[in-house]
Chains A and B, each alone.
Chain A
Amino acid sequence: MDFQVVVLAGDFANKLIPLVSKEVPKALLPVANRPVLSYVLELLEQSNLKDLIVVVEGQDAAVRVGGWISGAYVDRLHVEVAAVPEDVGTAGALRAIAHHLTAKDIMVVSGDLVSDVPPGAVAAAHRRHDAVVTAMLCSAPVSGPSDSGPSGGKDKTKKPGRYNLIGLDPTKQFLLYIATGAELEKDIRIQKSILRAVGQMEIRADLMDAHLYAFKRSVLQEVLDQKDTFQSLRQDVLPYLVRSQLKSKVLLNGTPQAEENGNEKINSQKNQVLMSRILANASTPSFHELYDTNGSARRSHKCCVYIASDSKYCVRLNSIQAFSDINRDIIGEASHLSGYSFSAHNNIIHPSAELGAKTTVGPHCMLGEGSQMGDKCSVKRSVIGRHCRIGSNVKVANSVIMNHVTIGDGCSIQGSVICSNVQVQERVVLKDCQVGAGFVVTAGSECKGEALAKKDK
């Protein structure tokens, strides 16, 4: 497949502080004890997309990510790691690595995507329609999962329209309108000309842009060159392409179109429609073709969508809430993504982990390599990383505990995220907290809904 994949493993993600730090860039945040980036890479590998460029913002982070990738995927994938300056935006990142791009089509994936939707299907849809851009859409979560914090659920139900507003044609193959709910001021403004050409447009608020796009390289590069103010793929490039799809300027230079233009002049228009229908392997001609037959020359381009079915899992790790949710889902309902085999108790306990007397590890839990737990502990729906030392009488529920964490006796940890190398002393109670790497929680402290991190940053 002549596809080049760009993984934007990028930004520093302020939203994820204190979970991310200079030592742990976002791409390397552990999800069920694996860096989040590995989910994307393996997803691509499954679709046989092995020619990858991983773009990381900042030199240090690039070195770390590169180091990890070369260790983990050295003989499986052909990965180049490219560092770009910080804050260039997604479009800027693509501009910076433009010289690496050679294939006919480019797939751009966000590095924080955790999904089981095959990118190959997106690529196929892209090729089938000869589209300029194909975006993957998945159904937006209706509200926060039932057992997540009540704040998460309320937040989503209270703010409708925070997801994307997406206009589709009746066949649900073409993208006619896209906007982010939160960015719209008041009105949804739809171009009449597009509506005229299509006749009917469905605007949906229950779909989410999964940040996985397939672009035609020539078009993408042209747009990036011409519009140097464009910063973001999602906010600038994609809406621009969608907007101008009936008055395409980008395509006229492309060689395949030139040939088709020639054909069109010779053939009668009806034949052309028929031919393209056969070529496109579609049952009915798309509105683009019908539109083109009215005009004298072919001047439209297609923006397609691939809508993942509801049963597929597709979430982006872009907030702390999402981080907890994903961790829980990976060892819970979306366990097929984790790549581990579950025990009879529906949990994963590494053989080298040591459990004290009367310690229970419930279903949907994960206990990493070399971790030790004292007596009378209970773990529910939580992930515990490698080489953690947990004392006696500790309760852990709905939490993520990364590697090398020490937890003293009698602690209770609920709904929290504890980063690597944290020391939690005796009788600490944490509820809905985030503890940054290397932090020491002093004995007996009680925290609720706080973010604890070292001051020196």
Chain B
Amino acid sequence: MGAHRKGATRISEDSEELARVPLQAILLADSFATKFRPITLERPKVLLPLVNVPMLNYTLAWLESAGVEEVIVFCCAHSKQVIDFLESSEWFSQPNFSVTMIESHHSVSAGDALRLIYERNVIHGDFILISGDTVSNMPLTQVLQEHRERRKKDANAVMTMVIKRSKPSPITRQSRLGTDELFMAIDPNTKQLLYYEDKADYSKGVISLDKLLLVDNASISLHNDIQDCYIDICSPEVLSLFTDNFDYQHLRRHFVKGLLLDDVCVAPTRPLLLAKHSYLMCGHYDGSSANWTCSLLVLAFLIANSWGIHLFCQIMGYKIFTHEIHSSYAARIENFRSYDAISKDIIQRWTYPFVPDVKFCGNSATKLERQGMYRATEVVQSRSAEIGPFTVIGNGTTIGSNTKISNSVVGEMCTIGSNVSIEGSYIWNNVAIEDGCKLMHAIICDGVTVKSGAVLEPGVVLSFKVVIGQQFVVPSYSKVSLLQQPTKQDSDEELEYADNSSGIVEISSITDAEDQSNGAMTSQSLEEKFQPTDELGTGGVGYVWSICEGSHEEEWRHSIAPIPADKLAEAMESTEEDLDLITQNGSVLPPSGELKPDSNDSDDDNEDSRDDSVDFEKEVELTFLRAVHENIKEDHLILEVNSLRLSFNKIFADCAGAIFYSLMKLALETPHNSPSELCNNALSVITKWKKLLKSYLTDIDEQIEVILKFEEMCLESAKEFSPLFAKVPGDDIVVPSGTVYKHSCLLLALASSMMTLWQFSFFHGIRLQGNCWQTTMKCRRNHTMLFKTAATDALLDSSSGEANCFAANLCLFLGVLFFTYFLKVAMVATIFGLFLGNLLALLWLGQLRILWHLYDKDLIQEDAVLKWDDEKKDADDYDKVFVKQSEKFIQWLREASEEEDEDEDAKNDSGRS
């Protein structure tokens, strides 16, 4: 909320300040994608040369010419290289143009980047958000003006997206830039974006628009002929929205869609952080009661706060608008195909003034000759060499006789032998191509050597310093690098959800790769011996990357090579099949997939929950045993069991049962000679893990579950226990009231968080019926994330009591955080009901009775025992064996409860003695 107030004041100031706030731009110098691998393992994408000039220079030159005064370059992958490049470039010496850099090593997505930038507090007004691989020459004045005017009328217009008309091919369903087709719905009058769908929902045959959209607008334009330029004019709120919705990763897939679905949560994290800090401060006071009160206060604060936010959420309707450009150029290099297409656009001067013969930054002088041929001043070219149209030849390049080059870009200091034929290829700097080679639609990075007679088939990518052996034929679409392909990561569901192209994987593998590359560079000569010589022909150096099976068919889509005819035919057939299916099924059924996996998944889930009880028990047992053997603290064990509980979708009673089961198993497995020894074992185990067990025994039901479990065990698996069932042990343990409080605090915290979690998923499920699967994924993701935090935080705190309380309260926060998350539908009654329930439970928990051993250890209440007794009354004799055993005990309980006093500690002591 604080952020919003901040944002609001900013807006009000804006109107006055508009004139003097310098125009800022955030340039993400990392695409958070893996499309350009293996090249990007060694060099950041923004520094790859595009018609002999690094991509970043195009973006910066455009920003400068468009009147941007301050550019914040966010560097992530290979940040060192980007920073070095910028520092040595002329961008720092430009007047009225400042470049600042923000470096990060932990950001895995655009969302993380923007959150970091928000924390730095460097953005003071509307800004332009682009990535460093954008080529454009559009003027910004008009779109900025439109954006500001809209902002004056409606503060919720947070973003203006630049779009351009470009019809994707109906056959391959991708634009000429190789991006997937895009469906948008735009209000034709206001240009508001109402719907955005990219490849995520690829297989669906229909677009579903909310009918309510037509309530406000008499008409909607649906577009399939629009290309997203990835140039966004944003208001400062965008950054705070990213911060508030900490699960947003991808700019389009999460942020834009989130805003369109109005699935945005405003500022729940801020009070949470605040509360956490305040708690930490209070936490240093001694005495558990202080903690206790503090946590209650915080809870109340959070509830109040979240309710406020709820009201706030309701009126939020952030809007995104579009701005269509017609004559100017804007495109983003997303994959090899767009690299090819945009290179050609540059050569054909669509991007003027950013063309090879105009010196805009860092490019050497070239001269435009006829047929779109650019040649640097110092090119050594044999007379018999034929250089075709639309070709760029860089400085210091030598070209041998009878060589044919067409539609290609050749970098600086390259050596091209004789009788070479090069078509549609991109050759970077310092490349040596020996005689008689044949290159078709290939990308060849710096320092590559192609030995004589080698043939590169269409779509080949040769990364840095690769050597292709003599007469070797590199098959089409292969990617060759000196680095080995990173071993494939297990497809983590978290990642899949986030975005297959943003990723933790990337970071980890990049660092891996960098390590490898260092190794590879230094020991290159050594490695050559180990190189499989047949992989790249005689004298070849490098690894051929295997194409991941998933993208195998897709390879041709994004490759630099033109789409082969057979693929076109295939695609055409599939389009027709789609149509067939659509007409057969009427209109609504999706042709394939999408819905089916959904239903399968949900089925699986159901089955899981049915069949998993056994698995769950085993898992808990294993976890417990591990904890015993590795001396893991109870608190951590509790957290682990909780996460297990969540992943198996169990209730507390199951946990309690499972833990009790594992406790008893442990006792049974400890060597023993006599029943009494066994009993002692069991008692010591229970005493030791009392806290663990107790954290799951909040309720009578759970306690009954434990008794029943015990009964079951005695009957079935561990008959040894049967005589011990109701043996009343004699040791005295007085539980200090402080511990009770602490424990109850933990219990409550967990309970409340669990309840809120449950409610969260429940309400969310209702709200997004169609997106149940997604919601579940989201829930799971959040859970894991939050529990990780909880666990780490708890680990940081060395004192176990403190950690205990801390973890508990953290859980409490998390619970309430979820309240804020689903508050759009939850009712205030629920919150207060829960709150009161918590209070009551706290008071009630204070009066735990100590009886039997479990009873003795605060684990089971007499009510539970009595209830268990009641339940068993109607059962047959066989079932009653254990009830009879404990008859005396129960009777005693009944009597005791009649004489009950308020001073229980005294009572219990006297009762036992």
Contacts and interface: CB of A to CB of B under 8 A. Distances in A.
A15 interface: no
Interface of B: 167-168, 170-171, 173, 181, 183, 185, 188, 204-211, 213-215, 217-225, 572, 575-576, 578-580, 582-583, 586-588
Interface stretch (A19-27, A186-194, A378-386): A186-194
A195 B221 contact: no
A205 B222 contact: no
Interface string A121-133: 0000000000000
Most chain B Cβ neighbours within 10 Å, of A198, A199, A201, A206: A199
Given A191-B206, A202-B222, A203-B220, A243 B586 contact: yes
Nearest to B184: A200
A247 B211 contact: no
7 contacts: A181-B211, A187-B210, A193-B579, A196-B168, A199-B225, A204-B219, A206-B219
A160 interface: yes
B224 A205 contact: no
Contact of B215 (A161, A186, A187): A161
A189 B222 CA distance: 12
B188 A202 contact: yes
Given A192-B183, A295-B572, A205 B214 contact: yes
Report whether over half of chain B's contact residues are helix, strand or loop; otherwise say mixed: mixed
A197 interface: yes
Across the A-B interface, the 6 shortest Cβ-Cβ residue pairs: A199-B225, A187-B208, A204-B219, A188-B209, A206-B218, A201-B222
Interface in A216-261: 239, 243-244, 246-247, 249
Contacts of B214: 160-161, 165, 181, 188, 203, 205
A260 to B, nearest CB: 19
A250 to B, nearest CB: 11
A182 to B, nearest CB: 10
Contacts of A190: 206-209, 222
Given A195-B207, A295-B576, 7 more contacts: A181-B211, A189-B207, A190-B222, A193-B205, A247-B582, A291-B170, A294-B572
Contacts of B168: 196
A13 interface: no
A243 to B, nearest CB: 5
A167 interface: yes
Nearest to A242: B587
A191 B572 CA distance: 17
Contact of B588 (A165, A167, A189, A246): A189
Contacts of A203: 185, 209, 214, 219-222
A72 interface: no
A1 interface: no
Interface of A: 160-161, 165, 167, 181, 184-193, 195-206, 239, 243-244, 246-247, 249, 291, 294-295
B183 A195 contact: yes
Given A167-B222, A196-B173, A204-B218, A246 B579 contact: yes
Nearest to A160: B215
Contacts of A193: 205, 575, 578-579, 582
A190 B588 CA distance: 9
A181 B586 CA distance: 19
A451 to B, nearest CB: 32
Interface centre among B214, B221, B572, B582, by most chain A C-beta atoms within 10 angstroms, is B214
A196 B220 contact: no
Contacts of A244: 583
B167 A199 contact: yes
A247 B587 contact: no
A391 B35 CA distance: 89
Given A181-B211, A190-B207, A249-B583, A202 B224 contact: no
A191 B168 CA distance: 16
B579 A189 contact: no
Contacts of A246: 579
A193 B185 CA distance: 16
Contacts of B586: 243
B170 A188 contact: no
Given A160-B214, A161-B211, A191 B224 contact: no
Contacts of A205: 214, 217-219
A200 B182 CA distance: 11
B171 A294 contact: yes
Given A246-B579, A294-B171, A295-B572, A199 B206 contact: no
B224 A200 contact: yes
Contacts of B205: 191-193
A205 to B, nearest CB: 4
B208 A189 contact: yes
A243 B583 contact: yes
B166 to A, nearest CB: 10
B223 to A, nearest CB: 5
B218 A192 contact: no
